[in-house]
Amino acid sequence: MLNGLSTIVRDRAAAQAALQPDLKASTKPKLEAHNLSFYYGATQALFDVTLSIPERSVTALIGPSGCGKSTFLRTLNRMNDIIEGTRVTGKVMLEGVDIYEPGIDVVALRKRVGMVFQKSTPFPKSVFENVAYGPRVAGHRGSKALAELVEACLRRAALWDEVKDRLGDSALELSGGQQQRLCIARALATNPDVLLMDEPASALDPASTAHVEDLIFELKQNYTIVIVTHNMQQAARVSDRTAFFNHGHLIEVDATPKIFTRPGQKQTEDYVTGRFG
Amino acid sequence: MSATAMGPGIGVPRTRASARPSFVGPLFAGACATSAWLGLGVLIVLLVGVLWQGAGWLSWSFLTNYDSRHPAEAGLLAGLWGSLWLVVLATLFAVPVGVGAGIFLEEYEKKGWLRTLIEINLSNLAGVPSIVYGILGMAVFVKMFGALQGRPKVLEIGLRSAHLDIPLPFGRTVLSGGLTLALLILPIVIVVTREALRAVPSSLRQASYALGATHWQTIRHQLLPAATPGIITGVILSVSRAIGETAPLLMVGAAVYLANSPGGIETPVDLVKHPGGVLEAPFDSFTALPVLIFNWISRPEKEYRHVAAAAILVLLGLLQVFNIAASVIRARFQRQARW
C-alpha cells in the first residue's frame, strides 16, 4: 500500500515538474487556523487545530469518518453557522483577517471562499441559471457580460464543450460527473480565490473522478484548494500538502509525499497504510 | 407464549415460534383490508343513495336557476357563485398570511418561547370546531365587536374607473364569510407550508448559501420555488374543506333563500362585462352550496330531498375537481423534483 502510494506521489511530482517547471508550492499562507475548536452543542468536534494553508496549492484533509475533517473544512467559509447550536473558538485568518471577527460579512466571505459538496447539488434550474446563480444573487446584471462569465466558468470547469448546446436544459438531466463539474463551475462564478471541496468525487465513477482530479490539478494555478477525501490515492494524486485528522485533533500536516512515504506519526502511518480507518 | 416454550430457551422448536406469526400476520392483514373496504363501502352506499335521489333532478336549469318555492324550478346558481366567491376570498386572505407565518416559523423563528407559543396556538386553532369560527367571524367581521353599533360607516375608496364602498362593520357579506373561512383554513395552510419547506433538501439550501446568497435570496430563489407545488396542493385540499363548511357560514349570516348572485355576476361572461360587479361582490349578501343543501333538506316538501341530493352531487363534483387538481400538481412536482 505504502509503495503503491509513493509511486503515485512520484508520478504526480514528475508530471507536475514537466507541466509547470517554474511552479513551486507557494509558502505564503492563504488561510491559517489558530487554536480552532468547534462544538456541536456540548460535543466538541475539533480540538485546538492550528493549520496553515499555502496559497495556490492543494491541501488534502484525510482521516477516518467522524474525525472532524469536514467540520474543519466548513469552518473555513462559516458554513457551520447555519447549523443551530454550534460554537467556534480560536481564529481562522484569511489573508490575515479573522473571519470569525464580529462585523465580518459572511455573505461576502462565502463568495471569496467557494464550496463544492460531496453530493452534486445542481439547482432544479437550467445549466446556465445554475452557473449564473452566484453572480445574480450578488446583483450581477447585464446579460452579455453574464453569458461570457458563464461560458468562462464552464470552460474552466472543463464542461463547456459538453453542455454548450444545452445551456437551457435542466441541470438535472446531466450525468453525475457533469453535475459535479457544473457545481465546480457554479462555485467559480462568484470569483472566489479559495475553493473548498468536500469529497467532490466520492459519488462519481472512475472516469468522472479522473476528470474532476485533472480539473483540480488545473485549478490550483489560480485557486487555493482545500479538499476532504476518503480516498488515499486521490489525496496522493492531487494534493501538495496533506493534513491527517483523528478524533477532532490535527495529528500531522506535511508535504503530501512525506505523509505518504515517511509520516512522522505512528497513527498517520497506520491510517495511510490501511491498518485502521 | 407458554412458560415451557420460553423455558431454558435453547431447545425451543422453531415451528412453535413461527406458528404464531403465521396466524397473526394474515389476521392483521385481513383486519386492515376490512377497514379499507369499510370506508369505501360507506362511501359507495352514500354515493349510490345520493345518485338515486338526485340524478334525475340534475339539469342545466338546476345550475342556472335561483332558488324557488317550486321544487322543480329551484336551482343553485346563488350558492354556486356564493361558494366560489367565498373560496376565492378565503384563499386570497389565508394564503399570504398562512405562507408568511409558515416561512416565519420554519425559517426565521427557529427556537424560543415565541415559536412555542405560536405552535401551541396553531394546534389549538386547528382543533377548534368550525362553529366556533362562525361565532368568532360574527363577532369580529359581521359586528366588529359592536364598536360601530347604531352608526355604521361606509368607507369610500375611489379607484380610477370604479368606486369601492366598504361597509363598516362588514355585516352579513361575502367578505365576512370569506374571512371566516380564511381563519378556518389558516392553520392548515401554515402546517402545509412548513412541511413543504422542511421537505426541501438541505443540500439545496447549503449550496445556495455557499454561493454567497443571503437568507432571503435562498428563500426566494430556492426554498419557495421548491416548496410551491407542495403548498399549492395543501391549499387546494384546505379549500375543498372550506367549500363544504356550513355551520360557520350560517353563523356569519349566509342567506338561506337568495335570488341574486354576489355583485350581480351570474355567468363567467359577466366578470368581463361588468367588472364593477367584481368590486361589489365581496360586500353583497350571499349563500353557499352547503347552506342551500341544509335548507332544502330541512323543508317539509318531499321533492326538496331530491333537489338537495342533486346539489350534493354538484358539491361532490366540485370537490372531486379540486382533489384531481391537487394530485395532478403533486404528480408534476414529483416528476420535476429529482434531486
- The model's pLDDT over B81-112, given as tens digits with 9 standing for 90+, comes to 999 999 999 999 999 999 999 999 998 887 78
What are the helix and strand counts (H, E) for chain B? Answer: 15, 2
Closest by Cα among A231, A199, A160 to A1: A231
Closest CA–CA distance from residue A21 to any residue of chain B (Å): 34
CA separation for the pair B209, A199 (Å, rounded): 18
Picking from A107, A126, A150, A196 by the largest number of B CB atoms within 10 A of its own CB, the best residue to mutate is A107
Closest CA–CA distance from residue B143 to any residue of chain A (Å): 46
pLDDT of residue A23: 46
Confidence of residue B6 (pLDDT cuts 50, 70, 90): very low
**Are residues B211 and A110, on separate chains, in Cβ contact within 8 Å?**
yes
Q: Sign (positive/negative) of CA torsion B195, B201, B206, B208?
A: negative
Q: Sign (positive/negative) of CA torsion B245, B251, B257, B259?
A: negative
Give mean pLDDT, residues A121-129: 92
pLDDT of residue A247: 92
CA separation for the pair A18, A12 (Å, rounded): 10
Does the structure show a pLDDT above 90 at B114?
no
Among candidates B206, B208, B210 on the partner chain, residue whose Cβ is nearest the Cβ of A114: B210
Could you tell me what percent of chain A has a pLDDT over 70?
90
pLDDT of residue B237: 87
Does the structure show a pLDDT above 70 at A230?
yes
Contacting residues of B for A172, CB less than 8 Å apart: 338-339
Give mean pLDDT, residues A109-121: 90
Does the structure show a pLDDT above 70 at A17?
no
Does the structure show a pLDDT above 80 at A13?
no
**Are residues B214 and A137, on separate chains, in Cβ contact within 8 Å?**
yes
Does the structure show a pLDDT above 80 at B26?
yes
**Are residues A119 and B209, on separate chains, in Cβ contact within 8 Å?**
no
pLDDT of residue B3: 44
Contact B235, B91 (CB under 8 A): yes
Mean pLDDT, chain A, as a whole number?
Answer: 87
CA separation for the pair B208, B218 (Å, rounded): 6
CA separation for the pair B222, A124 (Å, rounded): 9
Higher confidence at residue B100 or residue B155? B100
**Are residues B212 and A107, on separate chains, in Cβ contact within 8 Å?**
yes
**Are residues B211 and A187, on separate chains, in Cβ contact within 8 Å?**
yes
pLDDT of residue B323: 87
pLDDT tens-digit series, residues A30-54: 899 999 999 998 999 999 999 999 9
CA separation for the pair A75, A45 (Å, rounded): 11
Give mean pLDDT, residues B35-59: 90
pLDDT of residue A139: 85
Q: A–B: how many Cβ contacts below 8 A?
A: 67
Give mean pLDDT, residues A54-77: 92
Output the nine-digit C-alpha cell for B26.
Answer: 394474515
Provide the ipTM: 0.85
Picking from A110, A129, A131, A186 by the largest number of B CB atoms within 10 A of its own CB, the best residue to mutate is A110
Give mean pLDDT, residues B135-163: 78
Does the structure show a pLDDT above 90 at B42?
yes
Contact A260, A9 (CB under 8 A): yes
Does the structure show a pLDDT above 90 at A252?
yes
B69 shares contact with chain A (CB less than 8 Å):
no
Give mean pLDDT, residues A63-86: 91
CA separation for the pair A150, A132 (Å, rounded): 6
Contact B285, B252 (CB under 8 A): no
pLDDT of residue B335: 63
pLDDT tens-digit series, residues B189-216: 999 999 999 999 988 999 999 999 999 9
Output the nine-digit C-alpha cell for A36.
Answer: 480552532
Confidence of residue A22 (pLDDT cuts 50, 70, 90): very low
- Which residue of chain A comes nearest to B202, CA vs CA? A121
pLDDT tens-digit series, residues B224-254: 999 988 899 889 889 988 998 888 888 888 8
pLDDT of residue B2: 44
Phi–psi pair at B83, nearest 5 degrees: -60, -40
Q: Position of cell 421548491?
A: B226
Closest by Cα among B215, B206, B199 to B333: B199
Contact B252, B137 (CB under 8 A): yes
- Which residue of chain B comes nearest to A80, CA vs CA? B206
Among candidates A119, A123, A137 on the partner chain, residue whose Cβ is nearest the Cβ of B212: A137
pLDDT of residue A5: 64
Picking from A86, A137, A150, A174 by the largest number of B CB atoms within 10 A of its own CB, the best residue to mutate is A137
**Are residues B211 and A183, on separate chains, in Cβ contact within 8 Å?**
no
- Which residue of chain A comes nearest to B201, CA vs CA? A121
Among candidates B111, B205, B210 on the partner chain, residue whose Cβ is nearest the Cβ of A77: B210
Residues of A with CB under 8 A from a CB of B: 77, 79, 82, 84, 107-108, 110-111, 114-115, 117, 119, 121, 123-124, 133-134, 137-138, 172, 183, 186-187, 189-190
Contacting residues of B for A76, CB less than 8 Å apart: none
Weakest mean pLDDT among A79-83, A151-155, B248-252, B257-261: B257-261
Picking from B211, B220, B333, B334 by the largest number of A CB atoms within 10 A of its own CB, the best residue to mutate is B211
Q: Enumerate residues 199 to 228 of chain B having a beta carbon within 8 A of any beta carbon in chain A.
A: 201, 203-214, 217, 221-222, 225-226
Q: Enumerate residues 96 to 155 of chain B having a beta carbon within 8 A of any beta carbon in chain A.
A: 110-111
Confidence of residue B144 (pLDDT cuts 50, 70, 90): confident
Does the structure show a pLDDT above 90 at B257?
no
pLDDT of residue A7: 66
Give mean pLDDT, residues A258-264: 91
Weakest mean pLDDT among A72-81, A102-111, B20-29, B215-224: B20-29
Higher confidence at residue B19 or residue B291? B291
- Which residue of chain B comes nearest to A109, CA vs CA? B212
